[in-house]
Every structure is written in structure tokens, then in C-alpha cells.
């Protein structure tokens, strides 16, 4: 394979292909948390996240969400459309957890009256800070129209994922999205959706630690991270059989 190295991130490696409009993505077993202050390796995580992201991106495409996903081409590899990433992380929250609890004092697990959409500036040197729409405009990170569309798409994705995960007996606490523009300027859902980027709780377990099926197991040193990810994939394949998936 003559693909040329393009970029290595915390969880993936990107390669150029013979087609300038297509990128090959390789998922790694590396795990990071707290803006990469905590690092580790989780055997099998790359394969699990690639498979989960494939399931979820394909599902969202059937619901009319435009994504960069083209196909899974290996156990830990997929081909995607080349996009220019908008430097914003779009976070949707359904229950209070993580930094929202730290910033607001809301107890863990508090159900929000409506989904909360937050924007974070993708800048490692600054620690990916929370930004307002006025900050986004000030820094020229996205246009007003793009921000409006990012929020609309994020809420639509939240609705579809909540529906799917509920069928899998999973609670979607919150999740992070990234978007990019393709060569024609179309806004596409990019990056991945996986237990690395979502908080997922088991509906069937009440214990606040045992119910965690996402990267918080790594953040909090709870162990059995790969087993938790494998359980998510299993439920998606067995319990999340919705039309079009």
C-alpha cells in the first residue's frame, strides 16, 4: 500500500490515498485523557472503536445525516472523504457529567430539561476551552450560518443516537462531535462516534461505576475498558437492529 502519512492524532493515524478526496484512517489502541495528561494502551481498542464508529456512522447516514464515512476496509481501518475540519468540538449533553458538573455544581446524572449544546475550541495549547458563539465569531472559527447548522445537526444526531442506544439498553449521557467541509463546501459529520467520544451507561445496572461503558473507565482507573467497549459493540449488533442499520 503506497498511501502517504498525513497526520497522527491521539487515537488515529491518517493517510493520503491515490484519490485526493479519500483518506485512510487507522484506529490505534492508544488511550488518552485530561488533554493527553494521562496516557495508556488498551489492547483491541482500535478494532472495537473502528467497528463501533462504522455501525454508528452508517446508521446516521440512513437517517439523513451527511458524514465523511465511505467504508470499513480493515479490522481497524476505514476510508473517509477528505474534509477540512472546523476547529470546534460540539458537545451535546443529556445528563450532567464530567466538566458540566465541575462548572455548575450539578450532581452527577442530573437529567437536563433539554439537550445542552456546547462548543469547545480545538486547540491543544489552550486546553480546548469552552467558547461562546461570540467567541467563535471573534476568532473566525466558523460563520454564524455554520454554527447554526452545527447546532441543528448535533441535536438531530442526539435524537437518532438516543433512539438507537435506548434499543440497546444504553443511556446516552453526552457525546462529542467534529465536523468538516468537503471540497464542495458541504458540512459533514467527521472524526468518530465511539465510547472514546460518548458517555454511555448501562440501563440495567444501578451501580454508578459498574454501569460505565465508555472512556471514563480509563479516566477513573476502573479497569475492564476493552470489555466495556466490546459490550457496546455487541449490543449495537444484537439489540440495535433498526431498519437501515
Give the torsion sign (CA, 43, 44, 48, 51). Answer: positive
Nearest to residue 161, comparing CAs of 26, 53, 46? 53
- Whole-number pLDDT of residue 30: 92
- In the numeric block, which cell numbers belong to residue 105? 455544581
Distance CA 211, CA 213 (A): 6
Residue 156 has pLDDT above 60, yes or no: yes
- Among 110-114, 122-126, 155-159, which is the least confidently predicted range? 122-126
84-223 and 4-81 share a CATH fold: no
Q: pLDDT, tens digit, for every residue of 35-92?
A: 777 899 999 999 999 999 999 999 999 999 999 999 999 999 999 999 999 999 999 9
What does pTM read for this prediction? 0.95
Topology of the domain comprising 84-223: D-amino Acid Aminotransferase; Chain A, domain 1 (3.30.470)
Distance CA 81, CA 241 (A): 26
- Whole-number pLDDT of residue 222: 96
State the Rg of the chain over Cα.
17
Q: Could you tell me the residue ranges of all domains in the chain?
A: 4-81, 84-223
The 3-state DSSP class for residue 133 equals helix
Superfamily in which the 4-81 domain is placed by CATH: Phosphorylase Kinase; domain 1 (3.30.200.20)
Q: pLDDT, tens digit, for every residue of 162-198?
A: 999 999 999 999 999 999 999 999 999 999 999 999 9
Label residue 244 left, alpha or beta by phi (over 0 means left) and psi (-120 to 50 means alpha).
left
Amino acid at each position: 500500500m503506497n498511501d502517504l502519512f498525513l497526520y497522527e492524532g491521539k487515537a488515529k493515524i491518517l493517510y493520503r490515498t491515490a484519490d485526493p478526496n479519500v483518506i485512510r484512517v487507522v484506529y490505534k489502541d492508544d488511550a488518552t485523557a485530561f488533554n493527553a495528561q494521562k496516557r495508556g494502551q488498551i489492547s483491541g481498542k482500535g478494532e472495537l472503536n473502528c467497528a463501533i464508529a462504522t455501525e454508528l456512522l452508517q446508521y446516521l447516514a440512513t437517517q439523513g445525516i451527511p458524514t465523511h464515512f465511505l467504508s470499513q476496509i480493515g479490522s481497524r481501518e476505514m476510508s473517509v472523504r477528505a474534509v477540512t475540519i472546523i476547529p470546534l468540538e460540539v458537545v451535546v449533553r443529556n445528563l450532567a457529567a464530567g466538566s458540566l458538573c465541575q462548572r455548575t455544581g450539578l450532581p452527577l446524572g442530573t437529567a437536563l430539561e433539554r439537550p445542552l449544546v456546547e462548543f469547545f475550541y480545538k486547540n491543544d495549547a489552550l486546553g480546548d476551552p469552552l467558547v461562546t458563539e461570540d467567541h467563535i465569531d471573534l476568532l473566525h472559527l466558523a460563520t454564524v450560518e455554520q454554527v447554526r447548522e452545527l447546532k441543528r445537526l448535533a441535536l438531530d444526531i442526539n435524537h437518532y443516537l438516543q433512539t438507537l442506544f435506548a434499543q440497546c439498553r444504553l443511556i446516552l449521557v453526552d457525546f462529542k462531535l467534529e465536523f468538516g467541509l468537503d471540497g464542495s463546501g458541504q458540512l459533514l459529520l467527521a472524526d468518530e462516534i465511539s465510547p472514546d467520544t460518548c458517555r454511555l451507561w448501562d440501563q440495567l445496572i444501578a451501580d454508578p461505576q459498574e454501569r460505565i461503558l465508555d472512556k471514563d473507565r480509563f479516566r477513573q482507573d476502573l479497569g475492564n475498558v476493552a470489555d466495556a467497549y466490546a459490550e457496546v459493540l455487541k449490543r449495537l449488533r444484537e439489540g440495535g437492529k433498526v431498519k437501515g442499520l
